[in-house]
Amino acid sequence: MRGDTALGGREVLWEAAWQMIQDHSLGGVGIGNAPYAVVSYLEADISLIGRESSAIHNPILIIWSETGIPGIFFYLGILMSALYSFGTQYLKFRKLQSNSLKLYFALVSSVTLGYLVSWIKGGGMQSDFTYFLILALLILPSGFDVATFGVVPPDS
């Protein structure tokens, strides 16, 4: 049965999205058009016949199908560069043995990992505000001066 899978039946949607990406790999189908364009690839599914649109429930496939190779390159490039920046800042703070942001790095990395696990299965997550908040939290340490960062003592 379709709804009993580990991914909640999304495999059919993802396969249709992949077929759409293969047909429109360079330029995509246009921003916002993926839910409408994927319907023609889902016609084999009887439960979806007659529907005008269908959510794909995978941000990577949505961006790729809507914007093509250039769009997915930029979208994932921004995420990868934010993760890289976060990792390099963590290593700099660790090398200086600065414990002032140890909890920040632990919390943000845990939340980011949890979010990305749910993000890959979520519908509409490609433009969710939480995604941009996670990006901001990942790049925030790059704005700190690593050498002089510390807790400011309160005024007496």
Residue 85 forms part of a structural domain: yes
pLDDT, average across residues 90-97: 86
Q: Does residue 150 belong to any structural domain of this protein?
A: no
Which of 40-44, 80-84, 138-142, 144-148 has the largest mean confidence? 80-84
Q: Distance from first CA to last CA of the chain, Å, rounded?
A: 68
Q: Which residues of 108-123 are buried (b: 16+ CB within 10 A; e: fewer)?
A: bbeebeebeeebeebe
- The phi and psi torsions of 33 (rounded to 5 degrees) equal -95, -10
Residue pointed to by tokens 């009887």: 46
Residue 152 lies in a domain: no
Distance separating alpha carbons of residues 146 and 105, to the nearest angstrom: 14
Q: How many domains does the chain contain in total?
A: 1
Give the percent of the chain with pLDDT over 70.
77
* Residue-wise pLDDT tens digits, 44-61: 655 555 566 777 778 888
Asked, for residue 148, whether it belongs to a domain, the answer is: no
What's residue 150's pLDDT?
Answer: 56
In a domain, residue 79? The reply is: yes
In a domain, 57, yes or no: yes
Decide: 71 and 64 in contact? Cβ < 8 Å.
Answer: yes
Structure token pair of residue 34: 């993926």
- Is 153 within a domain? no
Q: Whole domain around residue 114: which residue ranges?
A: 2-143
For the segment 11-31, what is each residue's pLDDT rounded down to a tens digit?
A: 777 788 888 888 888 888 888
Q: Is the pLDDT of residue 94 over 60?
A: yes
More confident residue, 69 or 120: 69
- Note the pLDDT of residue 11: 73
Q: Taking the CA atoms of 57, 59, 61 and 64 in sequence, report the sign of the dihedral they define.
A: positive
Query: What's the pLDDT at 1?
Result: 41
Domain assignment present for residue 149? The answer is no
